[in-house]
Structure 1
Amino acid sequence: MSPSVAAVSSGGHTTPGYRRNGKLRACEPCRKKKLRCDHAVPVCGRCVAREQSERCIYHPQPLSRATEYGPRRQIRQMRRNPEISSRRPQVFAIETCSSPIQLEEPEQREPSGYAAYDEPLLGPCEPPTRESWPTQPKSPQQDSCGGKCGSQGFLGTTSHTAIFSEAMENFSPALTSSLVFNGEDTISEGEINHSYNIVAFLEDRNMVDLLIERWYEHSEGSCICPGFVMKQWLEQVWRHHDNALAGGHTATKWRLCESLWRNTRSPLLVGKATSASTWISRGTGENLRWQVIGLVAVVAGLCAACLSPSDVLFVNNKVIVSDFVNKMAEVSRACIAICRSCNAMDDLFVWLLYEHTRLVRAVSGEGSHDAYRAGGETNDALITMGLHQNTLVNDEVPFFLSELRKRLVVGIYAMEISTAVFLGRPTRLSHQYCSISPPLDLADEQLTLEGTDLEASLECLDLDGFNKGKRLSRTTWLKVWLPFDQLREEVLNLALGQYTRDKVLRQADGIQQRSVEQWGRLPSFLRKTQDELAEARMLKPVEVLFRTVLRQDYLSNELLLQRVLIQKTGASSAKLIGIAQEVLRDVLFITHRYDIASTIQTDLAFLLLIHGMRSGATIAVELLRQEKVASCPENAQLPRSQTIQDLSVFAARLGAVDSSSGAFRMCDQGRNAITSILNKILDLRSVQLPDCQQSDQQPPLIPIPQLHLDLQAQAPRSLDLGTCLVTEVDQNLEFEELVTLGNDHDFMRWLENADWGPSDS
């Protein structure tokens, strides 16, 4: 050790000193190889990991040293010129005896996931020094996705490896297996430093247990991770690591972080004979992984986001809901970054990405770029795993995992279609290139059954895979949602694509016919409307939500299709208005349940924003048209009094969305817009409208050409209501122009630019 280092160590300093630019000095090995040094004293973690502690020195002026002579210089020359090594083999013997100098050191990079994160959550700490070890090598065998993924992920039939796999597998299986990456990696001390504080949220065990329990009690399985899986995970975590999570920077917690890194880098092996209990245990206890830590955090965050800020759970624990939810989002984001650096690509990682995307949508909003980016990574991971092509039971996939994968794929696809339609953008996950199988309508606990018990459970399903007990769960919802989402993708393609008028009419007619047929094939208990549900007010909040959303899936497709027909074929708006009335009626029905707003307010805000805003805006604009036209038919499609009452209630519901919700800003803008339109309508009552004679034909419909908000220049026109179809409009009225409803993102952007000002009501 050099004198400078000895002086620093004896002086009790914890840093090696600073350079002239204010940054910490790097040790010589890290400086020469341009690697990121963790600046630990007396030996940095990277040098410990690479077994070169004797070479780890912090030189105060590294560029002022004299030229080296002797064996070290000769070795450096031999690295640059291989011919020297053949002429002077004795130098190796001299140097390897005196100091273990490595002649070939593969350059290691810091995990890429940390480069984008500067949160205090990932700040460094001072754990006890510990050497790293190599992780278990990844198995080169065929993975559980059904294809040889390796380090590149799923490779399809057009990839270069397909040639070798198809042509050479019968001749030399060893050749095809050699195409799969197989290597070892090490865990550096710096990597553990960055992740040491991530598990700190588990110190409050009581809070975590209560939130997880509340989530699975009220959500009825509204999570890709079943309740029995999460329960076994937490039981094993508390049993094996309760002391390590008690608090403080202890050596036990340090060893826990080490094992988390090691387990995450090892493959999550599964075979057809793997039981559900065995598979679950491979992610918890002594096998605890960062994916599980992230899933615990994100489920706790989702539960907190759904509950009221005044819930007794938060009041008693003095927890600020918004801060807690943001903290859980940071934890899940940090866990995802670690999984990226570990090249972890398994079912648990895709689960984490999917649930993290849901949490980001709840925090940042449906239309935020953070949510859009998180959804894109989830789609990418799904394809990389090969789950878009194969989720069926085979020699590598047991029954329970196959069903969980079906639920996962349908959930991710539905989320992507919802986002694409809301933003008016092309979908990034198309059913044309995916083989999506609907899941069986089984309860979560039934997935763990085997043998005769499993066969008995399957006998309780009808021919289409629905349960015969009229039980409504999230799996039922996903199973119904899949065909309607595929139809919605076709509507989106019709809106964004370049088609002739005849082709639009022909494809729209086909979509309508298939939609009606699909709705008719559903079990009768799923097709009941709100009026037919005499016991609706006795149902649990989540059951009411499921029934409402199921009906909205069917109605929303028709509403979106009518908007496309108005835009591209000049169709009448009469059918659109009728559908919008039905949608708004369902939305108002569910908002009458106060217990829904207190237990699943995130889903309620989503329903108000996605479905309610579409229909409410359509009805408000149509009602304003009826009030402003010079003449109107006696049989106006919208009854004035009832419509004003409904819109007033809807505006109040929008105003009740909590300010911490990601949907608050858009809902508040929508409330201001609808309130302003209602004020205009009420002000117009002082104007005496002339009587009009009833006519069998509707008045001629003309588009409004002017739009002073430059909406068309700001956003693409897709899923357009078309231009607002109206009769002759009095240009002297105060309301300068009517709203041109484009896609949902267009409408939200128009709301942002419109200066509504505070409403008087």
Structure 2
Amino acid sequence: MNSASPNFAIPSEIPRRRNGRPQACEPCRRRKVACDHRLPICSRCIRKSTPQSCRYLIQGQLVTPALPSDVARSQSAEMLDERQPREPTVPNPTTVSPSTLEDLSPQDENVGYLGASSFPEFFRETQRHLDYVAGPNPTHDGLAGKNENNVTSTKMAPDAAAFELAFTVLRTIPTKEAAQFLLRRNVNPNDAWCRLALDRLHASLWTALGHLLDGERSNEAMSQLALLLFQNSSNPLKEDFPDPDQWFEAFSGANFRWEGLGILFTFWCFGSASLIENGTVEQRKWLGHHNRKNLMQVYKNGASRSVDLCRLMSCNNTMMVSVLVSRIRPSIVQSTPCLLVPNKSYLGAGFWRQHAEAVALATFLGLHTAQPNSSVPEESVSVQVKRRLFCSVFNIDMVVSTLTGRPPLVSSKLCSTPLPLDVSDESLLNLKVRPHRLDNDGWNVEGKNHPVTFLRAAYIIAGIRSEILEIVLQAPHVRTQHDFDSLRKREMDVFARFPTGLQFNNDDFSNSSVDAPTLYIRLLTRLEHLSNLFFIERLSYRGSSLYSPQMLEISLEMISLTLSFWTQQNRLEGLQGDYEWLVMLHAAPAAGILCMELLKQPSATEPPTVPKITKPMIIKQLSLLIGFLEWIGPGAPGAHLCNSIKTVVERVMEQALNPAIPRPVTQQEFDMTWDTSLPEDMNDFNFGLLDTFDWLRLPPNTI
């Protein structure tokens, strides 16, 4: 047989024999087995882990995905480029160069961040001392680079299952028009990555790879696109660029990666979350055969499968952290009411594993430390994105730890990550906008609310929350003294130093100059601050009654502000998918305090705890809470728990509005009924939904 030099271009269609029937690849032909003729590699060769040998004989020449040289790779790319249709108004589309699947195996051998207690640190100290005494000898530095024996780690190329998964993911990508529509629908004023970079990444997907995604998305086109993404993702992502254009180019266009696709899927998911249940006439055009919830699940699955492909390629970088963080948020938004319901999939063990993976990768990369780098300035986008991502990881950890009562996975005492600068995405991606105008605390002097502004504020508040959780969740045998007055003062001081753009005012609801994102982050900032005060008051109160007057005031404001996310939906257009879980986080514990205050006032003759907080005011807020819980509907995640809360609140209101024949009750009897005495170690402070039901102390089986 003629063994002429092989033609390295991937054929544009299935090779055929002279009689017109499809040509089998050479391994299948020699073994006389069925070949599915998939390009560039048939499924049988992938299953047998021999993709390098999958070659088609065409006109006496072997067509193979193996490239022996960069020259051949370039020639192959040029031949493919000529076959691809182009639009005259856009740059040349990226063409896929074939490569061996050996080259697609992960090449990242990074051992990650190693801190002060790690064993190499002690050897480095010895080596520095040895260099000082005997002079440097870099050839024997086994800690600085690859080992002398050039031992390579075991590599694993994508198999048939990986390619099938890749095809599923690629066919889940919406059409260009639908993708752009969903991206515009997602309004996230506290994005943890860089929204402007994401918008450009989205445009890059269609500019560079749109020719492979348009049309029917055949196996041939999907094979080329999957190979490109596998090839790019198998290479370690270089991120530490001082130039923003170099930073962006490393993962966009011809360098597009599975991580980037995973990030886009999460944003399409949140764009779907903002739609009406079955969509308007315009929205139904992009919904296809799905309603809002089903469409969210489709793109959430796309993100999860992208994560699986990233794991296969050992993608250990900040983009992977961003995918993991973004993937957590749909779970929180869809299912926070399910937190304490047994056998629920979202915030049970599955969700906790996802969250733990995000924390683990962030600390593996050392994002929890300052990581000074003299070659990359602090104001560069690569440095700021790392800080933003860790702030988001830390904030989420404090939220889910508060809701579940499980120990947080990180602690403020072990984190030294500086706050990200309060600068716009435009200034990060454009060197001409610099220098940044910031005050001594790192806030922008213009008073603008950038996507990072709330992230900074939440990180500061979460640092104090971390200290609160340490007090609440400490083991019974631990004996420590706590200065709650100092903790309260620090919380008040840090909130007072926040810029005016983060300060909520009651007039903001009627002020048309306050747009939806600004109103959203002002409400969140105020609520996070009130939550810390709520916990501090709960822990520090030692009075004879059930709670302090300050705690009642805080509770009334908390429930009022959280319910505004429902009552002011017209002012929060585009943010509906992001706020339902906040009601369960903040309104439920506040409602528990208000319910106790109502039950403490069986008649109009008994004075209220706080004179300015009247019975009608409390009833109004609890009535709104009932309305919200009814609005959630029986089909929502955790609907049973929501209905239980609604039942409790309704019973309390019925008792308050239509009290039974009163019987004189002493203060001692009342306190014994509620049994709210706390031991010194605080260990019965149950953070499960902030102990809402335990505070009510209802008899068993009454709900």
Q: Normalising TM by the smaller chain, what interval?
A: 0.7 to 0.9
TM-score (norm 2): 0.76
Contact kept? 1:264, 1:344, Cα under 8 Å: yes
CA distance 1:297–1:660, shift in 2 (3 Å): farther
Q: How far off is 1:549 after superposition?
A: 1.1
Match of 1:123 in 2: none
Residue 260 of structure 1 aligns to which amino acid in structure 2?
Answer: L
Q: Distance in 2 between matches of 1:173 and 1:544?
A: 57
Match of 1:201 in 2: 172
What are the equivalent positions in structure 2 for 1:620-635 lying under 5 Å apart? Answer: 620-627=595-602, 632-633=606-607
Q: Pick from 239, 246, 249 the counterpart of residue 278 of structure 1.
A: 246
Q: Distance in 1 between matches of 2:263 and 2:163?
A: 20
Is 1:523 the equivalent of 2:492?
A: no
Q: How far off is 1:636 after superposition?
A: 6.3
Contact kept? 2:598, 2:653, Cα under 8 Å: no
Once structures 1 and 2 are overlaid, which stretch shifts more, 279-288 or 432-441?
A: 279-288
What are the equivalent positions in structure 2 for 1:609-648 lying under 5 Å apart? Answer: 609-627=584-602, 632-633=606-607, 638-648=613-623
Q: How far off is 1:252 after superposition?
A: 2.3
Match of 1:439 in 2: 420
Q: How far off is 1:604 after superposition?
A: 2.2
Match of 2:319 in 1: 348
CA distance 1:393–1:296, shift in 2 (3 Å): same
Q: Distance in 1 between matches of 2:174 and 2:688?
A: 45
Q: Deviations over 1:414-442 (max 9, x none)?
A: 11011111111211111111112111111
Q: Deviations over 1:345-377 (max 9, x none)?
A: 011101100000112222333621133221111
**Equivalent residue of 1:656, what SS?**
helix
Contact kept? 2:545, 2:671, Cα under 8 Å: no
Contact kept? 1:362, 1:663, Cα under 8 Å: no
What are the equivalent positions in structure 2 for 1:421-570 lying under 5 Å apart? Answer: 421-450=402-431, 453-455=433-435, 458-459=436-437, 461-497=438-474, 504=481, 506-530=482-506, 533=508, 536=511, 538-566=513-541
**Equivalent residue of 1:702, what SS?**
helix
**Equivalent residue of 1:517, what SS?**
helix
Is 1:46 the equivalent of 2:15?
A: no
What are the equivalent positions in structure 2 for 1:295-444 lying under 5 Å apart? Answer: 295-312=263-280, 313-317=282-286, 318=288, 319-365=290-336, 367=339, 368-369=347-348, 370-390=350-370, 394-395=374-375, 399-444=380-425
Is 1:192 the equivalent of 2:163?
A: yes
CA distance 1:432–1:303, shift in 2 (3 Å): same
Is 1:158 the equivalent of 2:117?
A: yes
Q: Pick from 662, 677, 687 the counterpart of residue 661 of structure 2.
A: 687
The number of residue pairs the alignment matches comes to 602
CA distance 1:689–1:302, shift in 2 (3 Å): same
- Identity among equivalent pairs (%): 16
Q: Distance in 2 between matches of 1:434 and 1:489?
A: 11
Q: Distance in 2 between matches of 1:156 and 1:568?
A: 46
Q: How far off is 1:547 after superposition?
A: 0.7
Q: How far off is 1:580 after superposition?
A: 0.6
Contact kept? 2:534, 2:555, Cα under 8 Å: yes
Q: Deviations over 1:307-345 (max 9, x none)?
A: 332442532334311111111111111111111121110
Contact kept? 1:203, 1:245, Cα under 8 Å: no
Q: Deviations over 1:258-286 (max 9, x none)?
A: 1111111101113444x222222221222
Match of 2:671 in 1: 702
Match of 1:114 in 2: none
**Equivalent residue of 1:704, what SS?**
helix
Is 1:268 the equivalent of 2:249?
A: no
What are the equivalent positions in structure 2 for 1:80-159 lying under 5 Å apart? Answer: 132-135=101-104, 138=107, 150-159=109-118
Match of 1:98 in 2: none
Q: Distance in 2 between matches of 1:389 and 1:8?
A: 57
Residue 274 of structure 2 aligns to which amino acid in structure 1?
Answer: C
For structure 2, the residue ranges without an aligned partner over 5 or more in a row are 1-23, 56-97, 340-346
Q: Deviations over 1:201-256 (max 9, x none)?
A: 225221111111222xx334x32232321222222221222222122333122011
Contact kept? 2:566, 2:628, Cα under 8 Å: yes
Residue 153 of structure 1 aligns to which amino acid in structure 2?
Answer: G
Match of 2:581 in 1: 606
Match of 2:224 in 1: 255
**Equivalent residue of 2:50, what SS?**
helix
Q: How far off is 1:755 after superposition?
A: 5.4
Q: Pick from 663, 672, 689 the counterpart of residue 744 of structure 1.
A: 689
Q: Distance in 2 between matches of 1:179 and 1:164?
A: 16
Contact kept? 2:207, 2:253, Cα under 8 Å: yes
Q: Distance in 2 between matches of 1:256 and 1:467?
A: 42
Q: How far off is 1:648 after superposition?
A: 0.3
Residue 177 of structure 1 aligns to which amino acid in structure 2?
Answer: A
What are the equivalent positions in structure 2 for 1:169-248 lying under 5 Å apart? Answer: 170=131, 171-174=136-139, 175=141, 176-178=143-145, 185=155, 187-190=157-160, 191-215=162-186, 218-220=187-189, 222-246=190-214, 247-248=216-217
Q: Distance in 2 between matches of 1:608 and 1:381?
A: 30
Q: Deviations over 1:537-563 (max 9, x none)?
A: 552222211111111121111111122
Q: Distance in 1 between matches of 2:227 and 2:695?
A: 51
Residue 117 of structure 2 aligns to which amino acid in structure 1?
Answer: T
Q: Deviations over 1:610-652 (max 9, x none)?
A: 11111112211221232289x8337765422221122101211
Q: Distance in 1 between matches of 2:479 and 2:519?
A: 40
Q: Deviations over 1:81-113 (max 9, x none)?
A: xxxxxxxxxxxxxxxxxxxxxxxxxxxxxxxxx
Residue 430 of structure 1 aligns to which amino acid in structure 2?
Answer: S
CA distance 1:364–1:646, shift in 2 (3 Å): closer
Residue 383 of structure 1 aligns to which amino acid in structure 2?
Answer: T
Contact kept? 2:105, 2:313, Cα under 8 Å: no
Q: How far off is 1:397 after superposition?
A: 6.6
CA distance 1:587–1:166, shift in 2 (3 Å): same
- Bigger radius of gyration, 1 or 2? 1
Q: Distance in 1 between matches of 2:544 and 2:618?
A: 28
Residue 322 of structure 2 aligns to which amino acid in structure 1?
Answer: W
TM-score (norm 1): 0.71
Q: How far off is 1:567 after superposition?
A: 8.0
CA distance 1:188–1:50, shift in 2 (3 Å): farther
CA distance 1:634–1:159, shift in 2 (3 Å): closer
Contact kept? 2:488, 2:533, Cα under 8 Å: yes
Contact kept? 1:135, 1:265, Cα under 8 Å: yes
Match of 1:101 in 2: none
CA distance 1:315–1:50, shift in 2 (3 Å): closer
Q: Distance in 1 between matches of 2:527 and 2:684?
A: 17
CA distance 1:527–1:202, shift in 2 (3 Å): closer
Q: Distance in 2 between matches of 1:688 and 1:701?
A: 13
Q: How far off is 1:596 after superposition?
A: 4.8
CA distance 1:614–1:172, shift in 2 (3 Å): farther
CA distance 1:356–1:579, shift in 2 (3 Å): same
Q: Distance in 1 between matches of 2:330 and 2:687?
A: 27
Match of 1:87 in 2: none
For structure 1, the residue ranges without an aligned partner over 5 or more in a row are 16-37, 54-128, 140-149, 693-697, 721-740
Match of 1:116 in 2: none
